[in-house]
Amino acid sequence: MTVDRKNRLMSAMTNGSEEDVRAEMGFLPLEIMLDQYRKSSCAPSIQTDLKTVFAWLGQDIGELTAQSEVLYRRGYLAYLSIGVAPSFQLQKSFDMAFAHPEARARAKHKPPEAVMDAFDRMFASDSEIASKRKHDWEVETAQMSQALNKVRVSHSGTGWLVNFVIGTTEKARLFRAVSVAWCVWVLLRTEIYFELVGFQFHQWDEEMLVANLLALPVLVYLSHYLFKVYAKMRK
């Protein structure tokens, strides 16, 4: 790590903002990797991550240019602001960055996924990353399942259409398949003119796109409603 980087970190901790401190801390693992890169014993994984990061920065591996430093700082703060830490030990720090009032604005500058993965490896081992990702996936899956169950319960009496959309019955799968096919057909008819088996299919009016997309669900709803009314009248 260069003396200048040490001084900048100390200056940020003494006189800078919280953002300055976090940004300067983000440069530390990069400087350590560069020190190792300059040695003949540098691991291939470090070389690969450095190539990924510096390709994103748009410069050769080495001392950061002023432009690259700005891009790296912005990308690293976005990485923090998303709030997904590479390890359990770092999650609290990432939570603090995620809770910052400007977190959403910072997250818009998120680097490419390959760079995000390189950042992960800068701060955690492969085993820590794998364990954390497995845990996050299980939590997200459980939350999604719980949310879907709440929707099913809250619409158990009148939400037949909701059950069609998220259900696993044969009718639900058929409804989804037909809906997807209908949406593709509507978009196709709206975008292009074509001829098929001697029939000319002229483009549909773009202003009617939403109405055309909703036509099938509305028709299904009305048919179902009228059938229920008819069934009650027959009793």
Residues 198-208 pLDDT 10s: 777 777 877 78
Is 143 part of any domain?
no
Examine the domain organization and report whether 214 and 100 are in the same domain: no
Q: Is-contact 162 151, C-beta < 8 A? A: yes
Examine the domain organization and report whether 103 and 163 are in the same domain: no
Is 112 part of any domain?
yes
Element housing 98 (H / E)? helix 91-98
How far apart are alpha carbons 118 and 86 in whole angstroms? 10
Q: Which of 27, 10, 4 is nearest to 122 (CA)?
A: 27
Per-residue pLDDT tens digits for 170-221: 766 777 788 888 888 888 888 877 677 777 777 787 778 888 888 887 887 7
Examine the domain organization and report whether 8 and 109 are in the same domain: yes
Mean pLDDT of the chain: 82
Per-residue pLDDT tens digits for 83-97: 999 999 999 999 999
Decide: helix, strand or coil at residue 125: coil
Is 136 part of any domain?
no
The residue assigned the tokens 């820590």 is: 128
The answer to whether residue 129 scores a pLDDT higher than 60 is yes
Q: Which residue has the higher pLDDT, 36 or 199?
A: 36
Please give the pLDDT value at position 14.
Answer: 78
Please give the pLDDT value at position 143.
Answer: 79
Q: Which residue has the higher pLDDT, 75 or 40?
A: 75
Is 7 part of any domain?
yes
Is 214 part of any domain?
yes
Examine the domain organization and report whether 10 and 106 are in the same domain: yes
Q: Is the pTM of this model over 0.85?
A: no
- Chosen domain end from 127, 147, 173: 127
Is 195 part of any domain?
yes
Examine the domain organization and report whether 20 and 107 are in the same domain: yes
Examine the domain organization and report whether 117 and 159 are in the same domain: no
Is 8 part of any domain?
yes
Examine the domain organization and report whether 78 and 20 are in the same domain: yes
Percent of the chain with pLDDT over 90: 36
The residue assigned the tokens 């794998």 is: 130
pLDDT band at 1 (very low <50, low <70, confident <90, very high): very low
**How many domains in the chain?**
2
pLDDT band at 111 (very low <50, low <70, confident <90, very high): very high
Examine the domain organization and report whether 98 and 165 are in the same domain: no
Arithmetic mean of pLDDT, 3-14: 71
Examine the domain organization and report whether 106 and 202 are in the same domain: no
Examine the domain organization and report whether 18 and 87 are in the same domain: yes
Examine the domain organization and report whether 115 and 183 are in the same domain: no
Examine the domain organization and report whether 59 and 101 are in the same domain: yes
CA angle 202, 205, 208 (to 5 degrees): 135
Please give the pLDDT value at position 151.
Answer: 55
The answer to whether residue 161 scores a pLDDT higher than 60 is no
Q: Which residue has the higher pLDDT, 76 or 234?
A: 76
Owning domain of residue 81: 3-127
